[in-house]
Amino acid sequence: GESVGLHLPTLSVQEGDNSIINCAYSNSASDYFIWYKQESGKGPQFIIDIRSNMDKRQGQRVTVLLNKTVKHLSLQIAATQPGDSAVYFCAENIGGNEKLTFGTGTRLTIIP
């Protein structure tokens, strides 16, 4: 069945360093992926997305890499800031049916 997993539940990074958050998915039919950031007491915030016909997509300080061969997704955050501290979720979509399957989340802590 569908599942989206995360390699690490917590990650601590020094302020200014780069962060890499990983995600594995199991359904090869997944064709759309989204990364969300969720701060305490708030709903998930859309960060960046990528479709299965792409390997890489860049945003402001963030890059998402998709490796379909090993069903792996990663989120890279450059020059991390204290405001980047949050839980990060990857989510996958199959066939554009609006149902997202979420991973369990990685808590990113930025050390000043």
Q: Tell me how many helices (H) and strands (E) the chain has.
A: 0, 11
Residue 100 binds other proteins (CB under 8 A): yes
How many CA atoms lie less than 13 Å away from 46 in the CB half-sphere? 7
Nearer to other proteins by Cβ, of 101 and 109: the residue is 101
List the one residue from 13, 23, 64, 105 that touches other proteins (CB under 8 A): 105
List the one residue from 29, 40, 43, 83 that touches other proteins (CB under 8 A): 43
Residue 23 binds other proteins (CB under 8 A): no
Nearer to other proteins by Cβ, of 25 and 89: the residue is 89
Measured from the CB of residue 17, what is the shortest distance to other proteins in angstroms? 27
Contacts of 20 (CB under 8 A, 6+ apart): 74, 75, 76, 77
Structure tokens at 62: 């963030």
Q: How far is CA 52 from CA 21, 100, 106, 109, in A?
A: 19, 15, 22, 29
Residue ranges binding other proteins (CB under 8 A): 32, 34, 36, 41-46, 49, 89, 91, 93, 96-105
